[in-house]
Amino acid sequence: FRLILQTKLANPHYKPEMQAQATLINFTVTRDGLEDQLLAQVVATERPDLERTKAELTKQQNDFKIKLKELEDSLLSRLSSAGGNFLGDTALVENLETTKKTAQEIEKKVKEALITEKKINEAREHYRPAAARASMLYFILNDLEKINPLYQFSLKLEALKTIYQSILSGHIAPGC
């Protein structure tokens, strides 16, 4: 049995019993969140190499975390299955050395990745004004109905992204 409730309330309050048995998902579009998404689109259009490198770094960081967790789990399982004398178990000592070396290599790569990510973020910041203006435009268009109900319309976020992407790619003639 699955029950899905939907509300237009920005921050709904439910009884604790209901919250304990339900998963609340907030699909609210925020100015900062939209700006970050649009920034990624601008950078992907203008400098695809930067966005590709950023995605690769994110994947690499996640892979590092997974590898460290696997090493930790392996080491803990060997330690728990080892008898009272840890030094006599050569396989355990070798595994400990391998884990230590791998963890040091990963730590070194993580530091390098953080430096690279900082450089990428600095380069991406040059495109932030365009993303900020597009985000502001979305919220201005969304608030036009407060001026006059005639301006009320449905502006889907995906439609804005499509328009934004076509502007970036130059498919829309100026003045349209």
pLDDT above 70 (res 2): yes
Q: Rounded to an integer, what distance in angstroms lies between the CA atom of residue 100 and that of residue 69?
A: 13
The per-residue pLDDT for 125 is: 92
Sign of CA dihedral 56, 62, 68, 71: negative
The per-residue pLDDT for 20 is: 80
Q: What angle do CA 29, 35, 41 make, to 5 degrees?
A: 115
The per-residue pLDDT for 128 is: 92
Span 11-25, average pLDDT: 80
Question: What percent of the chain clears pLDDT 70, i.e. is strictly above it?
Answer: 89
The per-residue pLDDT for 51 is: 86
The per-residue pLDDT for 155 is: 61
* 19: amino acid identity, one letter: Q
pLDDT-derived band at 171 (thresholds 50, 70, 90) equals low
Q: What angle do CA 74, 76, 82 make, to 5 degrees?
A: 100
The per-residue pLDDT for 68 is: 87
Question: What are the pLDDT digits (tens) for 49-58?
Answer: 988 998 899 8
Place of tokens 């992204």: 161
Q: Rounded to an integer, what distance in angstroms lies between the CA atom of residue 18 and that of residue 12?
A: 12
Question: What are the pLDDT digits (tens) for 79-127?
Answer: 777 766 766 677 777 888 888 898 899 889 989 989 999 999 999 999 9
**176 Cβ contact list (under 8 Å, min separation 6):** none
pLDDT-derived band at 129 (thresholds 50, 70, 90) equals very high
pLDDT-derived band at 173 (thresholds 50, 70, 90) equals very low
